[in-house]
Structure 1
């Protein structure tokens, strides 16, 4: 999606404004934007140019959202006005909506921003269309009055007493009198008595029966006989009661007028047929095209001279149209074609078929393409012959979007499953990591120590897999940290050697100390692994996979010609294979979400799309070159940085912080994790009280309130959950420091919204060093606070 959007930001924070802009650009908007923070600046911006949408912060030093809405109303502009605030209560939000705002969002959750803007843009367009429609209705009514007044046909209306209440100019001209003199008179005042009685009787019949009366009558008003077509209809009030009679009559003496009207009607129908937005075909009983509209010519892209005489499948380019020498409709597959069946039934029985869905493999210019067609059939007469009106609508894109939606829903299901698995695995991995760490410190010999290191390393690798599951399933991001390129390639080399088929040879070129990448290491690993998996799949018969890394400098000349490039030093990563290569027509689409050339069930079409997202997120570039049957080369450029000065020296093992006899309340329903954590704290100088659930923790805290200096608690527990327990403990001691333990990254944010003070977060799985460091940090931070 690359939707242009002219956006006016009412925001005092340049940082927040750019955050909103980046969010919208990430979600596919091409922005032209301006930030204002005063009423005067907003007025100037509204006068200077037109805007598509306005986003406004609620509270600013010199301005606010209600003021911005008032300025917008001064200009009488119907623009979507959305409040985006860091914190806004429900009452204020309701007040803004009542004042005319279209929506409100919180800055810490911008996931609804793009959908909200798209919705409000559609609503604004609908309002504009409605106003146009209302104006057209008023114009139509005025036009109707004007038409009636100026119709060449005579129009008059009478009440039930026979008095004329309205007459148009044509009727006045027919009688040779001004219209003002006709109003209020009866037929006896205007016509001979015999003719007046005839008119009166006709009026009475219409009024009594409530039916339309049509007749052809002689008229001598002009001094010569003229034949008039007369149509009399009853006039009714809002309740449906007859209040009078309307008569319309016109001169039908000249047949030319009727012929002209007929020709006009035919032209209108032909115009409707020609300009209909769907493909319209008229087929004879041999299913050959005899007539087609402009939409058909545009869709099929063939000269009009080539269309007539073709059958539907031949026109669509169906690959089965040549299965039989007789052409479309006679091949073995044709009998199961829904369009063929609908046509045959319409021809045989005259039945109408609507919205028949058919999938066709079409071949054009040597390329095959699967298209989805929505077809309708009806039996009609044209030029006196029975024909089938065949309506076609291309729904290929719609069907593809529905398929994408189903795939997205499946991925969301994987995310929910990943969250549940992460919780269970974290409870398993944490005891293994801590127990192996403590046992390693007390190991009797080197062989035993190495075995424990292997166990600890495997547990850490399991923790990494859990984080990757969460990152994929829920979009959770890890912390930004320094990542060495050489370590990245070495990690992937180990995974490839252990998991890829043996007929794929791996060659790597590991860079030296060229600097570091800054970002989420999980995402960097995912990016490189996806590229390697893509290369593996391109070599089903085996081949050579090459992963190379080095440093390059991009100058300003290169940056000026390469989109999104900036001058600087970059880590260049090349992933090359000797596989099938990529067809030239697919190169422009390989990074599109859900696009895949793999067979059904072999790929989701998300691998390269996620690679592109990770590269762009970290300020990088990606380029691919390939030729069919000559392999492919993916080149990624990522910015390099100097290593952080605070990074510990290689091989340096910091001493574990020790306790000083402080009492800690440990709360966890997982017995194994609770036991290992208990032992780790005891062995490092702490006194520990243990609770199996939240209810027991509250009881223990009430009994030992004066002794407990820190609570270390899980979140997901029976009887009384972590958040509920925390609220109760904080009522007993508002300044109580708490370290919460959870494997779900969003829990910390949720708890901070409830109890933000003296709260620390320890993510699962953790080792002894993590546990002791977080415990000491919480105790020292609390001790350093001034007394309440």
Structure 2
């Protein structure tokens, strides 16, 4: 400290003051402060001294002192004799305060939660919270005023793992840091998942004074991991389905064909009944395989640009017949509905599945509504549904006033073989098929349901602009039609080959059958009257069906080609869609489907 008279001359100063001011006590006594030492007349310190002398009021300030590169805290006390000045070096304290300020700013901007509690009690009712940062308020909905003084146990709920809580408490009793993952609840009761680390703060005596918890909201990550697991499960089912589909569909093709022929040929009632039962079982097996392929996104699609309003109108009678009289049916079309590119036959099957599910949910009657509209799925929606691509969509919704579903049921609704129906009333593949078809078509599917309030299933398909739409015509039943043309079959499975040859001959066709691509080329080289090559895609011998077709067309450009396969991940199906201009007969098929497809391809102009 030092004192100044009314002329600002030193009348006293201690040794520490003299050192900071750049001189000795003897040299500075009696001298005017800004003439003898490093405080200049126009310096901020000199301004403060003159102000205190003029006003007669004590002053307190902090100021940077350049000669010593220090921050000083200064107190000035006016008196009848002049000024008494006390000052201290606060450079370290100011650094700490600046660091604390930066730390406070950083903590306030963190997305991670910082929560500090007292150290005790670890048993009930739990330690009291003394600090939370803004991230805590944002996530939980509790303000700092509401939560400080209360225990973090306020955030726990039914799904909070008691085993993890016990492990955390054991670690903290041993003064150890601990990492954990917990489910907590917001002020409104919404569940969220956090990843946390709790660090005990110890004083000089190694006593724990506080607990610091750093928490990160990992709800979105957990949901993404769940979606990834679901996607991997779907991919696994797809690989499994694709792996067995080829051989299984070959067998079903034979069973279907032979059962059909037996039911037509045998006259004895018991034998005919057995043949019809076999045929019915084979059809159910074929449908099961088709649904599995659809769920796994392995169903070959042949999309066309259509207006979904026209499709619903064309199948309205079919939908009405699927419903009992105690269910009211309404169609609410958007007159300005856009067009989309989709496989109309598969959409028809998907809609019928949704209609049947709605019917089964309204045992005592109700109302079923089919609605179409144009929708925009924006970035906000895409943020909540990671698989969605933003843009314009054509939406079709099937809603009912039935029993509805709770959230847990909805979360499993698309899983294969999951069903709420009684045994024998459903395979659990209806919604799975709808899901797979929608996803394979580049679309999005969403279920809205509440117990007792009904269910709405919305399908979104990307809108197509500037394309020529095709009027949808529902499939019409017809009788098998054959012809006299010469058909070459290339099929590596002997049983399928014999069956296919017999079916085509029964339709009047001339047939030559081989088991490999090279053999088929030899036949083509020696026959010039073959009009159709019917070839399996997956064949041994170093030549698949696509390669055979390319070489056959090089020999005979007008030769018609019809592929057949029970496995869709192959040379003519890419991204779930048939290559342009390709005709495919998917296994298993019945006699009518075989006859219709062969006749259709033979009738095309080339």
TM over 0.5: yes
Contact 1:362–1:371 at 8 Å: present in 2 too? Answer: yes
1:299 corresponding residue in structure 2: 139
SS state at 2:131 partner: strand
2:52 corresponding residue in structure 1: none
* Separation (CA, whole Å) in 1 of partners of 2:568 and 2:159: 55
1:267 corresponding residue in structure 2: 101
Match among 88, 92, 97 for residue 255 of structure 1: 88
User: Is 1:524 paired with 2:331?
Assistant: no
Unaligned runs of 5+ in 2: 1-18, 25-33, 40-65, 73-86, 121-126, 305-310, 334-342, 374-391, 421-427, 461-470
1:677 is displaced (CA, Å) by 1.3
* Separation (CA, whole Å) in 2 of partners of 1:606 and 1:284: 56
1:724 corresponding residue in structure 2: 547
1:525 is displaced (CA, Å) by 2.9
> Does the C-alpha gap of structure 1 residues 609 and 546 become closer, same or farther in structure 2, counting only changes over 3 Å?
farther
2:164 corresponding residue in structure 1: 337
Contact 1:667–1:712 at 8 Å: present in 2 too? Answer: yes
Contact 1:665–1:710 at 8 Å: present in 2 too? Answer: yes
User: Is 1:372 paired with 2:193?
Assistant: yes
Deviation string, structure 1 residues 645-677 (Cα, Å, up to 9, x no partner)? 8975x7xx54622215x3x32111222221121
1:410 is displaced (CA, Å) by 0.8
* Separation (CA, whole Å) in 2 of partners of 1:590 and 1:656: 47
Structure having greater relative contact order (Cα 8 Å, sep ≥ 6): 2
* Separation (CA, whole Å) in 1 of partners of 2:581 and 2:139: 66
User: Is 1:741 paired with 2:564?
Assistant: yes
* Separation (CA, whole Å) in 2 of partners of 1:383 and 1:275: 31
Matches within 5 A, 1:534-573: 535=361, 544=363, 546=365
SS state at 1:657 partner: coil
* Separation (CA, whole Å) in 2 of partners of 1:737 and 1:597: 40
> Does the C-alpha gap of structure 1 residues 376 and 553 become closer, same or farther in structure 2, counting only changes over 3 Å?
closer
* Separation (CA, whole Å) in 1 of partners of 2:519 and 2:565: 19
1:708 is displaced (CA, Å) by 3.6
SS state at 1:337 partner: helix
1:413 is displaced (CA, Å) by 1.5
Deviation string, structure 1 residues 441-490 (Cα, Å, up to 9, x no partner)? 54446776666555445434433333222221116447787864454466
1:552 is displaced (CA, Å) by 11
* Separation (CA, whole Å) in 2 of partners of 1:485 and 1:683: 36
* Separation (CA, whole Å) in 1 of partners of 2:436 and 2:551: 47
Q: What TM-score do the two structures reach when normalised by structure 1?
A: 0.48
Matches within 5 A, 1:311-390: 311-314=151-154, 316-318=155-157, 336-338=163-165, 341-342=167-168, 345-346=171-172, 348-349=174-175, 351-353=176-178, 356-360=179-183, 362=185, 364=187, 367=189, 369-380=190-201, 386-390=209-213
> Does the C-alpha gap of structure 1 residues 312 and 724 become closer, same or farther in structure 2, counting only changes over 3 Å?
same
* Separation (CA, whole Å) in 2 of partners of 1:400 and 1:751: 30
Contact 1:427–1:765 at 8 Å: present in 2 too? Answer: yes
* Separation (CA, whole Å) in 1 of partners of 2:349 and 2:215: 49
1:548 is displaced (CA, Å) by 6.0
Match among 523, 537, 549 for residue 715 of structure 1: 537
1:636 is displaced (CA, Å) by 9.1
* Separation (CA, whole Å) in 2 of partners of 1:521 and 1:357: 49
1:419 corresponding residue in structure 2: 242
* Separation (CA, whole Å) in 2 of partners of 1:552 and 1:348: 63
> Does the C-alpha gap of structure 1 residues 305 and 484 become closer, same or farther in structure 2, counting only changes over 3 Å?
closer
SS state at 1:378 partner: strand
Deviation string, structure 1 residues 263-283 (Cα, Å, up to 9, x no partner)? 444433333344433222222
1:408 is displaced (CA, Å) by 1.9
> Does the C-alpha gap of structure 1 residues 758 and 406 become closer, same or farther in structure 2, counting only changes over 3 Å?
closer
* Separation (CA, whole Å) in 1 of partners of 2:245 and 2:280: 18
Q: What TM-score do the two structures reach when normalised by structure 2?
A: 0.60
User: Is 1:403 paired with 2:230?
Assistant: no
> Does the C-alpha gap of structure 1 residues 421 and 576 become closer, same or farther in structure 2, counting only changes over 3 Å?
farther
1:531 is displaced (CA, Å) by 4.0
> Does the C-alpha gap of structure 1 residues 490 and 472 become closer, same or farther in structure 2, counting only changes over 3 Å?
farther
Contact 1:737–1:758 at 8 Å: present in 2 too? Answer: no
SS state at 2:503 partner: helix
Contact 2:536–2:565 at 8 Å: present in 1 too? Answer: yes
* Separation (CA, whole Å) in 1 of partners of 2:483 and 2:528: 22
Match among 93, 111, 115 for residue 277 of structure 1: 111
Contact 1:546–1:575 at 8 Å: present in 2 too? Answer: no
RMSD: 5.6
Match among 256, 262, 269 for residue 433 of structure 1: 256
1:416 is displaced (CA, Å) by 2.2
Contact 2:353–2:430 at 8 Å: present in 1 too? Answer: no
* Separation (CA, whole Å) in 2 of partners of 1:248 and 1:409: 69
Match among 282, 286, 289 for residue 459 of structure 1: 282
> Does the C-alpha gap of structure 1 residues 358 and 427 become closer, same or farther in structure 2, counting only changes over 3 Å?
same
1:289 corresponding residue in structure 2: 129
* Separation (CA, whole Å) in 2 of partners of 1:251 and 1:295: 37
Unaligned runs of 5+ in 1: 1-215, 228-246, 322-332, 494-505, 536-542, 555-563
Deviation string, structure 1 residues 325-359 (Cα, Å, up to 9, x no partner)? xxxxxxxx85x335x6446535634x444xx2322
1:431 is displaced (CA, Å) by 2.2
